[in-house]
Structure formats: structure tokens, C-alpha cells
Amino acid sequence: MKHTIFTGSAVALTTPFNLDGSVNFEGLGTNIDYQIDNGTDAIVVCGTTGESSTMSDEEHRACIEFAVKHTNHRVPVIAGTGSNDTRYAIELSVEAQKLGADGLLVVTPYYNKTTQAGLFDHFTIIANSVDIPMILYNIPGRTGLNISVETLEKLAHHKNIVAVKEASGNIAYTAQVAAACGDLIDIYSGNDDMIVPIMSLGGKGVISVLSNILPKETHEITQLCLDNDFRKAGEMQIKYLDLINSLFCEVNPIPVKEAMNQLGMAAGACRMPLTKMSADNLARLLSSMQKLGMPVSVVD
């Protein structure tokens, strides 16, 4: 059995920006502390929720370095280093290891995509370039590319490929992966609305957007699953389902950053081409938060 990077809840951390569009490192540190203080088991920095696709090389490296130093071994730090350019993904992955990241999160190539043979080669070459564990990120709704069960099973034999963040939304696919790969690979839910179903199939936890605003509760859902109390975990999953759905009523991370701003947390605006929420969707988000007793602006 391979090394497990974490069990429980990891936060897919947003990247807070100042009014001038620069990275708000003070806010990033505050948000990391908030997560750790409330039970989050790992920090994911510069993932897609962190708007890595609009970050410069310098910003990407600076955020990874800051997160590693600020976290200071309290929990693992996982760096998003995926790209649709294999060479660039290798460069980022090697740099993340040098900066002290405990693991990597590598998304499937987007837009140019590839064949399953190309996907196998892409991930294998990246994994060969480092000596730290790597989590594959399967999110076909955003990349247009799904890792087949057969490809994932082959990749699972690589010593550095230890887990998959599964966000296809297809629970049957997840069951097939669990059956095919067994202990060769850990499975993390990539969807907050599927934490309990995926963990009931043996998943080790979640890489969560919800955790940005409710870290304690997200951790508790995963801990209940790890304790085999799936009934209570399911009740919590359902309790927060309306909020989870509202957090994805527009392109992530637009809603979660708005929720963080409402709560007085460091978030700021998203970078273009992501923009402000529509009035209707903002009202929906605020209503979901208000129903849970979260302090927000008055909903008309």
C-alpha cells in the first residue's frame, strides 16, 4: 500500500487578491491559519479554485512557497501543478518539490486534451520528474477529458501516483475505479455534494471548495465517514446540500469568493474572464447562507 498524503478534508484554497489585482499574501496566511485551526487536514494551493490558470509563473511559485512556509508542517501542502503543456507541468512540479510541497495535484490536459495513451504518457512523465506523491485530478466537465478506468489502473502502479481527485460526478465510475485499483490508489471526492457516497466506497476524504467557508463542518463530515457513522455523515451532507449547490450555481470560484467576502474573509474579486455573480445567483447564495445562520447581507 502506498503513502497516503492525507485523510479527511483538504481545502481547495482560493487565492485572495488585493484591489489592484495582486496576490494578498497577508490574507492568504490568515485563510491558511483559519483552515488549520478548524480541523482542515491538508492545504491545496494553486489549484483551479485558486485561479492558477490566470497566475503568472512568479505568482504561482510565490504562492506555493508562501503556503509551505506559513503552514510550517502543521498539515501537508499540496501544490497544483497541472497544465495542458506537459513540459510546463514538469517545470512547475519540479519547482514545487524544491519549494517544499508535500504533494502535487495534476489536472488532466484541457482544450488540446489527448488520447488515453497520451494521458498515460503525460502523467507518467510528470511523475517520473519528481520524488513526491502526486494526485491526479479527473474533472471532465471542466477539461473535456475523462481518465478511463483502464488508464487509471495502469497509472496506479507508478510509485509516485498515489491518489485521484474524482470530480466526474459519476458514482458508478468511482465504484469501478475502487474495484480496479484497490489499495494502489487513494480516492478523494472532488465534489462537495458527493463526499459521503465516495467515502462509502472507500474514499479517503475530499478536496473541498465548501471548506473555504465551513472548514470545521467539512472536516466533521469526513471524520464521521472515517468513523463509519455514515448515517450522521449523510445527514450533514444533506444539511449543507443547498449551500453546496449555490456555491456552484456559477463557475467556481466566483460564488465561494463572494461568500468569503460576505463573511469578511480575504478573497477579493476573481480575475478576468471570471466576473461578478448575477443578481439572481447572488440572492440565491445569500439565501442559502442565511438559512444556515451565517452572517450575510440582507436578502431582498
Return the pLDDT at 299.
46
Helices 116-128 and 86-98: angle between axes, nearest 10 degrees = 30
Class of domain 8-229: alpha beta
Burial (Cβ within 10 Å: 0-12, 13-18, ≥19) of residue 86:
middle
The number of beta carbons lying within 10 Å of the beta carbon of residue 99 is: 18
Say which of 165, 173, 188, 204 is annotated catalytic: 165
Is 137 designated active site? yes
Residues written for the chain: 300
d(CA 17, CA 286): 22
**Cβ–Cβ under 8 Å, residues 36 and 66:** no
Q: How far is CA 67 from CA 4, 149, 165, in A?
A: 20, 33, 20
Return the pLDDT at 1.
62
Burial (Cβ within 10 Å: 0-12, 13-18, ≥19) of residue 234:
middle
Handedness of CA 276, 248, 52, 62 (dihedral sign): positive
Q: Indicate if the pLDDT at residue 281 is higher than 70.
A: yes
Is 165 designated active site? yes
For 39-49, how does the pLDDT look when each residue is reduced to its tens digit (9 = 90+)? 999 999 999 99
Q: Indicate if the pLDDT at residue 254 is higher than 90.
A: yes
Return the pLDDT at 3.
85
pTM for the whole structure? 0.95
For 95-137, how does the pLDDT look when each residue is reduced to its tens digit (9 = 90+)? 999 999 999 999 999 999 999 999 999 999 999 999 999 999 9
pLDDT band per the 50, 70, 90 thresholds, residue 238: very high
Q: Indicate if the pLDDT at residue 300 is higher than 60.
A: no
Mean pLDDT of 208-224: 98
d(CA 234, CA 31): 27
Strands 8-12, 205-208: parallel, antiparallel or unpaired by DSSP? parallel
Burial (Cβ within 10 Å: 0-12, 13-18, ≥19) of residue 204:
buried
Which residues make Cβ contacts (< 8 Å) with residue 50, sequence separation at least 6? Answer: 12, 13, 14, 15, 44, 63, 80, 253
d(CA 14, CA 45): 8
- Joined grid coordinates for residue 142: 471542466
Every domain of the chain and the residues it spans: 8-229
Q: Indicate if the pLDDT at residue 296 is higher than 90.
A: no
Q: Indicate if the pLDDT at residue 295 is higher than 90.
A: no
Say which of 88, 110, 111, 137 is annotated catalytic: 137
Return the pLDDT at 150.
98
For 144-188, how does the pLDDT look when each residue is reduced to its tens digit (9 = 90+)? 999 999 999 999 999 999 999 999 999 999 999 999 999 999 999
For 58-76, how does the pLDDT look when each residue is reduced to its tens digit (9 = 90+)? 999 999 999 999 999 999 9
Q: Indicate if the pLDDT at residue 288 is higher than 80.
A: yes
The number of beta carbons lying within 10 Å of the beta carbon of residue 295 is: 9
Least confident of 156-160, 179-183, 275-279, 293-297: 293-297
Q: Indicate if the pLDDT at residue 189 is higher than 80.
A: yes
d(CA 111, CA 22): 27
d(CA 294, CA 290): 5
